[in-house]
């Protein structure tokens, strides 16, 4: 297997940019919003909050016992990073949407892993809701990058590859 160095040359700086944005925004939140505090941005729709997520994306697996949670979260993070590295090594420069997707996912995964190492939990601060009728779990820049990256993978696999075959 020959690694396409153009892929690495793209993934590393984009992932680093995502990581920097994620860590900087989390720093600002920690400095300016007290834990469980809230700043209303768009009334009834969007708030900036300061909460901590002990689970994985969007609060999943928060109910794992604390004795096991740290080990499980580090394990999930480590496996994800290894898997991303392997996937990145197999992507070619012609798979541009996959390259962008992996960049976003990698940067987001590292951002949340840094929080787990520093705090034992992840700082979340974007709170989207529709009045009192619907409330999405709070998230952060890393979660957004991961979600967008996964959406790009799905689009590439389900839509673009079908077009190329047909």
Indicate the pTM of the whole model.
0.87
Q: Of these residues, 47, 115, 124, 127, which one is catalytic?
A: 124
Torsion angle of C-alpha atoms 111, 106, 143, 65, degrees rounded to 10:
-70
Question: Active-site residue 143, yes or no?
Answer: yes
The pLDDT value given to residue 163:
62
For 120-127, what is the mean pLDDT? 94
Question: Active-site residue 22, yes or no?
Answer: no
Q: Taking a C-beta distance cutoff of 8 angstroms, is the pair 34, 52 a contact? A: no
The pLDDT value given to residue 2:
84
| Cβ neighbourhood burial of 130 (10 Å; 0-12, 13-18, 19+) | exposed
Provide Rg for the chain, Cα atoms. Answer: 17
Per-residue pLDDT tens over the stretch 77-106 = 888 889 998 989 899 999 999 999 999 999
The pLDDT value given to residue 77:
80
Q: Is 26 left (phi over 0), alpha (psi -120 to 50) or beta?
A: alpha
* Tokens 């720093």 sit on residue: 27
State the average pLDDT for the chain. 88
Per-residue pLDDT tens over the stretch 127-136 = 999 988 899 9
For 120-126, what is the mean pLDDT? 93
For 137-147, what is the mean pLDDT? 96
Per-residue pLDDT tens over the stretch 149-163 = 999 999 988 886 666
Q: Taking a C-beta distance cutoff of 8 angstroms, is the pair 127, 48 a contact? A: yes
For 72-79, what is the mean pLDDT? 79
């Amino acid at each position: 297997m020959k690694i396409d160095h153009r892929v690495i040359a793209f993934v590393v700086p984009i992932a680093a940019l995502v990581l920097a944005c994620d860590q900087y925004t989390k720093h600002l939140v920690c400095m300016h919003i007290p834990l469980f505090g809230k700043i209303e941005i768009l009334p009834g729709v969007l708030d900036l909050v300061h909460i901590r997520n002990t689970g994985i994306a969007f609060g999943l697996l928060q109910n794992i016992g604390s004795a096991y949670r740290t080990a499980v979260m580090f394990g999930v993070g480590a496996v994800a990073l290894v898997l991303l590295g392997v996937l990145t090594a197999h992507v070619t420069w012609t798979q541009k949407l996959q390259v962008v997707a992996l960049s976003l996912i990698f940067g987001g995964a590292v951002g949340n892993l840094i929080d787990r190492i520093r705090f034992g939990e992840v700082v979340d601060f974007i709170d989207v809701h529709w009045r009192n009728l619907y409330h999405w779990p709070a998230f952060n820049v890393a979660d957004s990058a991961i979600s967008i990256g996964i959406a790009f993978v799905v689009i590439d696999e389900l839509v673009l590859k079908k077009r190329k075959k047909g």
